A = this chain, B = another copy of it.
Amino acid sequence: MTQDAVLSHIDADLPNAIARLQDLLRIRSISTDPAFADDCQRAAEWLAADLRGIGLDAAVRPTPGHPMVVGHMDGPADAPHLLFYGHYDVQPVDPLALWESDPFDPAVVDGPHGKTIRARGASDDKGQLMTFVEACRAWKAVNGDLPCRLTILFEGEEESSSPSLVPFLKENADELRADLALICDTGLFQSKTPAIMTMLRGMVAEEVTIHAASRDLHSGMYGGVAMNPIRVLTRILGGMHDDTGRVTIPHFYDGVPDLDPEIAEQWAALGFDHATFLGDVNLSVPAGEQDRTPLEMIWSRPTAEINGIWGGYTGAGFKTVLPAEAHAKVSFRLVGDQDPQAIRQNFRDWITAQLPADCTAEFKLSGGAGGSRMVTDHPLFEQTRDALTEEWGEEAAFIGCGGSIPIAGHFKAILGIDALLTGFAKDDDNIHSPNEKYDIDSFHKGIRSWARMLGKLA
């Protein structure tokens, strides 16, 4: 059988596939820090060259930020046209001291579930996007042609709020439109069950700066009489949750739907082991709204989180300063019909209303997209579900996702197409953290999963 030959080819070629992924992982494509702009460009060029090697008509396409990679390949006229999406940019690596090896020297090491590749981006998202590329490479090598028409889109700004994405989609909508989008940036359920994400949280983020005195002050001379902006910032943000874990910003829960009883039942059947999920990172008590289940906290409830805070003297030793300003980065995960713009404005108003005399607040926006729910009645959803079930030996689940993948909403809004989200990351992949890793079995079976999906189309 054609598919079996492809799977055998994948197995035999795995060492080469790992070496290719390592090449890509060596490129320091941190999109949020302008110092790494050249590395982002290099990652895009590496990918475009690799796609051309498989036979795609692929090119690096400039944007006002980091470039896109777009590739096309023809297929049988009546075959479905797939748009595959991934992102080649990665998160910053700090705190660097906690890495057990250089984050950009991708080592294959022993991990908690066998061999694993440790590097920034190994799981999010370079390893994941290469599962699909490798499946296409193998299929082409064995059969000469793909059983579908294919467009590939790789983005370089996913980890920095995708400023160029919407304009690029709008300008190139006719070129990018397909029958269905495939997005590989999600994970297995509980690190073992293959899953298709059908509910995602959106996100809006704000950086807030509280200004007080016109300069840093000495706490001996001014302490007690001058307002300290860190005191203001902690007082306000310290009240962002009430004792039950509920967010206190007015109108925050406007547009948050009740969970569909059918979905609640399906989720209950998944047997989510929150004790192990939290225990793996040395936590035990779910920290969200106390009247919700842990899965609801992650998949269907909105959050408000302080992702960074800083102000005053933070170096070694002590400096008795009253700083002129204090800062925080705050992000909100959104669900249902929560309006990102309204959340942003309500947050700003809520901060401003609590400012004492002599203090002002300055806000800097960062991204913004609502939550989304996938339509699951496209025939390719069932075919992909079957392919995943066959490869992993376990029924693939339709699940929710706490993360934000706004691209799915953009594909729907701008290209008019549905998206299917699946991926092979594990809960302990340490994405966005030190020692990010992608297990060899995620990579290997991920490639085989896509090959099986192509087999369904053949």
Contacts and interface: CB of A to CB of B under 8 A. Distances in A.
A201 interface: yes
Interface in A49-93: 91-92
B312 A433 contact: no
A356 B318 contact: no
Interface residues of A, number: 103
A18 to B, nearest CB: 24
Contacts of A318: 32, 160-161, 205, 207, 307, 329, 331, 366-367
A180 to B, nearest CB: 23
What is the total number of copies of this protein in its complex?
2
A396 B34 CA distance: 56
A236 interface: yes
Interface in A354-409: 356-358, 366-367, 401-404
A301 to B, nearest CB: 6
B319 A281 contact: no
Interface in A306-339: 306-323, 326-329, 331, 333
Interface stretch (A3-11, A111-119, A145-153, A211-219): A211-219
A310 B307 contact: no
Contacts of A237: 231, 234, 238
A225 B287 contact: yes
A358 B216 contact: no
Given A226-B281, A234-B234, A281-B226, A219 B160 contact: no
A203 interface: yes
B282 A307 contact: no
A298 B331 contact: no
A225 B281 contact: no
A276 interface: no
Contacts of A284: 357-358
Contacts of A141: none
B33 A402 contact: no
A228 B306 contact: yes
B281 A214 contact: yes
A316 B34 contact: yes
Contacts of A340: none
Nearest to A91: B319
Contacts of A333: 219-220, 223-224
Interface stretch (A129-137, A424-432, A443-451): A424-432
A287 B231 CA distance: 11
Given A306-B228, A333-B224, A282 B358 contact: yes
A308 to B, nearest CB: 4
Contacts of A298: 221-225
Contact of A217 (B219, B312, B433): B433
A241 interface: yes
A423 to B, nearest CB: 12
Contact of A306 (B234, B404, B427): B234
A307 B287 contact: no
Ranked 7 nearest A-B pairs via Cβ: A220-B403, A238-B238, A32-B317, A308-B312, A214-B282, A234-B238, A285-B357
10 contacts: A32-B315, A160-B318, A205-B318, A216-B432, A216-B434, A221-B403, A226-B281, A231-B305, A309-B310, A309-B311
